[in-house]
Amino acid sequence: MKDSKLRIVMISSECAPYAKTGGLADVVGALPKILRQRGHDVRVIIPKYSLIDYNKYRLQPFLGTMGVWMGNGQEWCTVHFADNEGVPVYFIESNKYFDRPGLYHDASYNDYQDNPRRFGFLTRAALQLCRDTSFAPDIVHVHDWQSALGPAYLKIWHWNDQILGRAASLLTIHNLAYQGVYSASHYEYLGLQWGNFTANKFEDHGRINFLKGGIQYADMVNTVSPTYANETRTPETGYGLAMYLTDRGDDYIGILNGVDYAVWNPAVDQRLPANYTSHDLSGKGVCKEELQRRFGLVEDPNVPVFGVVSRLAAQKGLDLLANGVEGILNSMVAQFVILGSGDPDLQTYFSRLPSRYPGRVGSFIGYNEDLAHLIEAGSDFFIMPSIYEPCGLNQIYSLKYGTLPVVRATGGLEDTVQQYNEATGEGTGFKFILPTPGALADTIGWAVSTYFDRKPHLQRMIQTAMAQDYSWERSAAGYETAYERALRNQQK
């Protein structure tokens, strides 16, 4: 960004590699690194969940105690520090709130009842940390509902503060469907003042809506792809907040996520049995063989393998696959590998499928980074039939691994995958529109027929896909522009 180097603090509930359930962690892990390379002083603040291994990540004590004012009194925490490849990361430790096995829910997927307090506390503690360390940020960058109260705290409590009074805020929405809507009984604790419990700020049918307040108070708001930014302005995909987003006019924008190609790149990926490039794909064959072996599939290089790595949530549309995959298995030559966890019914379905189609379907229910990389590399095609997708990272990883995405044309999937043109062989993947098992099955069939009948097209698509560049450079420039605008808005 021009010549001005910014001081930026990011507050988030996830950050790779420390704590991750999805793409939010990848973004908060990668974006600060590139912003630092561009000269900005970026710091990240996340909770010290008990699952974060102190020794593995070389955490160090930073502050023995820190007092944080909440709406009904002071609470205490400690702060730890780690260096994430040059990015300072601070961890807020509170046994009361973060000493639990999960990030958001228990092993049975029941949300922790005190989530609004946990993340309200995180956000206030993060701002307090800036004050206690005299770090005066130009930008407070918050992510999703978990830290969406940050902009409001700045404007309600810190507008006149020496350290925080000049900070502008950016709210990044990674998923509009999760808004942080909770009983008003938490409002007092959050310390947002009852005068602000109004329909245009925090109140939502008598409850508190974190994200709504964030949209109202942030100096700039963005989401993670241009198409999703447009979709969320419409009632169908706006989840009740379309009107508020539309009201923000040009202060609500879409910035496509980037990819950390130091982590997701088949040429250097250390988790693979073999590396490869677009000039020499032999390593991809080795990965495919290993993938087939690991998942108990028939080890045949000439059968197309379709991979899935996903949260098993309604958003991801994997019920379309569950409802269509057996028809496909009974009529086409194809293998499937599924890695994911989430919805109990889908978990049960996909965990049983391999025993019903031995050698043709493999699955692993759970979270496993090594397998995620192996599936990206060893599959021929990658399936993402999302009902909606703010950006989606796995399809972008797939492009780099020469694993052609089969996606529904929505949100970031629409923005990053170019439709195959059967007349010319152009394109990087296969897209469909209707969210039905039939449309997905037809599109998988299209990929299968391309695999067997139009090999030159397949080769060309793999080359085109691997040449796509979604590195963070471009997206970082987009964030710099958003920060500049936020600063201008803050000074108005």
Strand order through the sheet with 73-84: 60-70, 73-84, 87-93, 41-47, 7-11, 139-143, 168-173, 220-223, 252-254
- Which segment (21-29, 37-45, 52-60, 229-237) binds ligand GLC by CB under 6 A? 21-29
Smaller CB distance to ligand GLC: residue 63 or 409?
Answer: 409
Smaller CB distance to ligand GLC: residue 147 or 175?
Answer: 175
Strands 220-223 and 7-11: unpaired
If one asks whether residue 341 binds ligand GLC (CB under 6 A), the answer comes out as no
Give which of 400, 332, 343, 307 is closest to 108, Cα–Cα: 343
If one asks whether residue 124 binds ligand GLC (CB under 6 A), the answer comes out as no
If one asks whether residue 253 binds ligand GLC (CB under 6 A), the answer comes out as no
If one asks whether residue 224 binds ligand GLC (CB under 6 A), the answer comes out as yes
Name which of ligand ADP, ligand GLC, none residue 341 binds, using a CB cut-off of 5 to 8 Å depending on partner kind: ligand ADP
Shortest distance, CB of residue 183 to ligand GLC, whole angstroms? 25
Q: Binder to ligand GLC among 392, 402, 427, 478 (CB under 6 A)? A: 392
Shortest distance, CB of residue 403 to ligand ADP, whole angstroms? 12
The pattern of x and - marking residues 289 through 328 that bind ligand ADP according to CB under 6 A reads: --------------------xxx-----------------
94, two tokens: 């509170």
The pattern of x and - marking residues 11 through 50 that bind ligand ADP according to CB under 6 A reads: -----------xxx-x------------------------
Contacts made by residues 59-66, CB under 8 angstroms, sequence distance 24+? 59/91, 62/90, 63/129, 63/132, 66/125, 66/128, 66/129, 66/132
Spatial separation of the C-alpha atoms in residues 172 and 160, rounded to whole Å: 25
Q: Binder to ligand GLC among 36, 174, 186, 288 (CB under 6 A)? A: 174
Of 379-408, which residues contact ligand ADP (CB under 6 A)?
391-394
Smaller CB distance to ligand GLC: residue 291 or 387?
Answer: 387
If one asks whether residue 391 binds ligand GLC (CB under 6 A), the answer comes out as yes
Shortest distance, CB of residue 339 to ligand ADP, whole angstroms? 5
Q: What residues line the site for ligand ADP (CB under 6 A)?
A: 22-24, 26, 309-311, 339-341, 367-369, 372, 391-394
Q: What residues line the site for ligand GLC (CB under 6 A)?
A: 22-24, 27, 174-175, 224, 257, 389-393, 412
